[in-house]
Chain A
C-alpha cells in the first residue's frame, strides 16, 4: 500500500482581502514521489504550498502530514517545518541574512544541530547548488539566479523529508536549471519527496511521476504524466500544450517512423533512441 506523506482534503483559503485562492482543493502525495503542480498564474499554487508548510491556515478542510492532522500548536508547527522545507517563489522574500553562509546556516542552526554538523550540511548544500564560491558575499548583492540557488541551498541544508519548491527554474539559465532538476532527482532517489510548481509542461513531463493541474483553486486533473499529457481534452481545458517530446513522438509514430518495443519516451534522448 502506498504511504501518503501529505493528504489534503477539501481545503478552502480566502485571503483577508476576499480573494478565494483555494476552493475545495484535495490532493494526496505519496512518500518518495515527485509531484509537479501545474496551473495558470493565480490558480493557487503558491497559496497551496504556504498552507502545506503551515504558514497559512485554511479556513476549511484538513491537511494531514504523515497520517497526522496538522495542528496550529507551536511545537507541532515547528516539527512540521523541520520535516517539510519550502523554497519560496521569489528569493527576495526568502533571503534575509547578511552573508550567504549565514543565510544557508539559518535553518540548520534553528534545528539545534551541533556546529560541526551545521557546517557539514552547509558546505555540502553550497557545493551541490554551485554557490560555494559565494559564501562570504552579501545576499542582497547577488544576481537573481544566484539568490534562487542560495534559497534552495538554505532548505537543502535542513535535509527535509519533503522538499517543496515554488517554480524552481524560473530565472535560472539553462545550465543551472538542468543542474537543479538533476539535483532534485538525486535527492528524490535518496528518499526525499519532492513537490514543485511550474508553468513548463516539458519540465513537468520529464521530471515528475505525478502531475496535478490546478485551476482557480481546485484540482482540474491529476495522474501519472503519461495519462495527464495524453488526455487532449484535459489539456485543452487547462490551456496547456502537450510536452514537445510527447507531441513529436505521437506525430512520428503516426507516420511509422519509430521502432517498436520502447516505453513512452520521457526525454529527448529517449525519443531519439527510438528513431
Chain B
C-alpha cells in the first residue's frame, strides 16, 4: 500500500495530466473486459508493462513482484474453472484420479480458464498503472471534474486515509512487539498476534478520532481541497491514447 503510494507521488508520470492517465487506464480496462479476447488481453498486458517499465520508471524487481502477485488468486480461481465434471471419458486430456463422476480438464475448459486468466491479468495491470502513477489527490480531482457527487469523493478520500492509519498502526505495533522479542517462537508469536489484533483496533480507533481533530482544526468542512497543480494536457499523450484504443479495437474485431 505504502509502496504504491510512494511511486504514485514520486514517479516519472506524476506530472502527466491525471485526466489522461485515467482515460488511458479506463479505456484499456474496458476494451479488455469487453472483447474478452486473448489477443487483446495480451496486448493490454504488454502495453501496460511497457509503459510501467519504460515511462513510469518502475524497477524490474518491483515489476516481477507485481506480475506474481495476482497469481495468488488467479491460480486457484482458474483451476476451479478448468476442472469440470466430465460427461464422458475420452474428451479430457487430464483426468483427476479417484473421482466419480470423473473430474478433469477438457480443451474447452482449459481455453476458458486461460481466457479468464489473461483477462484478469490485463485488468489488474490497468489498475496497477493507475495506482502507480496517479496520487490519490489527483484521482479525487478527476472525480470532481467528472462531476462525481461530493459525498462519494469524500468517502473515497477518507477510506483511503484510514487504510493508511490502519496499515501504519499495524506496522508500528508489529515493530514494537518484534523489538521486544514478540515473535521469537511459535508460542509467543501467537500471543503477540492476539495483542496486535486487540491493540490495532484500539489504536486505530483512537487515531482516526485524532485525525478528525486534525481535519477540523484546520477548517475542514466536508470537502478535501486539492491544489490544482496546473497540469498541462499533452497532445502527444492524447494521440497515444487514441492510437492504443484504435489498435485494441481493431485487434478485438479481427481476432
**Within 8 Å of chain A (Cβ to Cβ): is B9?**
yes
B207-226 toward A: CB 8 Å interface, digit per residue (1/0)?
10011011111111100011
Complex Cα–Cα for A82 and B6 (A): 31
Can you list 17 A-B contacts with CB-CB less than 8 angstroms, sorted by A residue number? A53-B217, A55-B216, A74-B221, A78-B219, A78-B221, A85-B218, A96-B161, A98-B135, A102-B226, A105-B227, A107-B219, A109-B226, A109-B227, A136-B9, A136-B10, A138-B6, A138-B9
Name 20 extra pairs, CB < 8 A, besides A99-B135, A138-B9. A78-B219, A81-B217, A85-B218, A88-B213, A93-B213, A94-B214, A98-B8, A98-B136, A98-B137, A99-B9, A101-B227, A106-B218, A107-B218, A107-B219, A110-B221, A110-B225, A111-B219, A118-B227, A136-B9, A140-B2
Q: A105-B227, A106-B225, A141-B6 are in contact. Are A96 and B216 (CB under 8 A)?
A: no
CB of A50 within 8 Å of the partner chain? yes
B183 within 8 A of A: no
A115 in contact (CB, < 8 A): yes
Could you say which of B137, B164, B220, B227 contacts A115, with CB atoms under 8 Å apart? B227
Chain B interface residue bracket vs A: 20 to 34
B5 at interface (Cβ–Cβ under 8 A)?
yes
Task: Give the complex CA separation of A93 and B226 in angstroms.
Answer: 20
Contacts of A93 in B (CB 8 A): 207, 210-211, 213-214
Residue of A nearest to B215 (CB): A96
The interface bits of chain B over 145-171 (1 if a CB of A lies within 8 angstroms of the residue's CB, else 0) are 000000000000000010010001000
Within 8 A of B (CB), among A96-146: 96-99, 101-102, 105-107, 109-111, 115, 118-119, 136, 138, 140-141
- If A102-B137, A102-B227 touch, whether A138 touches B219 (CB-CB below 8 Å) is no
Question: Complex: how many Å from CA A81 to CA B219?
Answer: 6
B219 contacts which chain A residues (CB < 8 A)?
Answer: 78, 81-82, 107, 110-111, 158
- Is A225 in contact with chain B by the CB < 8 A criterion? no
The prevalent SS among residues of A at the interface is helix
A-B CB pair tally, cutoff 8 Å: 81
Q: Which residues of B line the A interface, CB within 8 A?
A: 2, 5-6, 8-10, 135-137, 161, 164, 168, 207, 210-211, 213-221, 225-228
Decide: B207 and A109 in contact? CB cutoff 8 A.
no
Please name the 5 residue pairs, one residue from A and one from B, whose CB atoms are nearest each other, closest first.
Answer: A109-B225, A107-B218, A110-B219, A93-B210, A105-B227
A154 near B: Cβ within 8 Å?
A: yes
Contacts of B226 in A (CB 8 A): 102, 109
| Bound form: Cα–Cα A138–B226 in Å | 16
Instruction: Please count how many residues in chain A sit with their CB below 8 Å of the partner chain's CB atoms.
Output: 36
CA distance A102 to B207 in the complex (A): 20
Chain B residues, Cβ within 8 Å of A53: 217
**Which chain B residues lie closer than 8 Å to A94 at the CB level?**
214
Question: What residue in chain B is nearest A81 (Cβ atoms)?
Answer: B219
CB neighbours (8 Å) of B221 from chain A are 74, 78, 110
Interface assignment of A86: CB less than 8 Å from any CB of chain B: yes
Q: Which of A50, A82, A85 has a CB less than 8 Å from the CB of B213? A: A50
In the bound assembly, the distance between CA atoms of A254 and B228 in angstroms comes to 64
The one of B5, B215, B217, B225 that contacts A98, using a Cβ cutoff of 8 Å: B5
A114 vs B218: C-alpha distance when bound (angstroms): 17
CB A56 to nearest CB in B, in angstroms, measures 9
Q: How far is the CB of B14 from chain A (nearest CB, A)?
A: 8
The distance from the CB of A138 to the nearest CB of chain B, in whole angstroms, is 5
A138 contacts across to B, CB distance below 8 A: 5-6, 9-10
**Residue in contact with A140 in the complex, picked from B164, B220, B227, CB distance below 8 Å:** B164
In Å, the complex CA distance between A111 and B221 comes to 10
B2 to chain A: which residues have CB within 8 Å? 140
Asked whether, in the complex, the Cβ of A154 is within 8 Å of the Cβ of B218, the reply is yes
- Closest CB of chain B to A83's CB: distance in Å? 10
Separation in Å of the B12 CB from the closest CB of chain A? 13
Q: How far is the CA of A158 from the CA of B225 in the complex (A)?
A: 14
A95–B165 Cα distance when bound, in Å, is 11
Q: Choose from A115, A136, A141 the contact partner of B228 (Cβ within 8 Å).
A: A115
Q: CB < 8 Å: which of A50, A88, A98, A140 contacts B168?
A: A140
Which chain A positions have C-beta within 8 A of B220?
106, 110
- Give the CA-CA distance A119 to B230 in the complex, in Å: 12
Alpha-carbon separation in the docked complex, A158 to B217 (Å): 11
Alpha-carbon gap, A81 to B218, bound state (A): 6
Cα distance A10–B193 in the bound complex, in angstroms? 45
Q: Measured between alpha carbons, how far is A111 from B214 in the docked complex, in Å?
A: 15
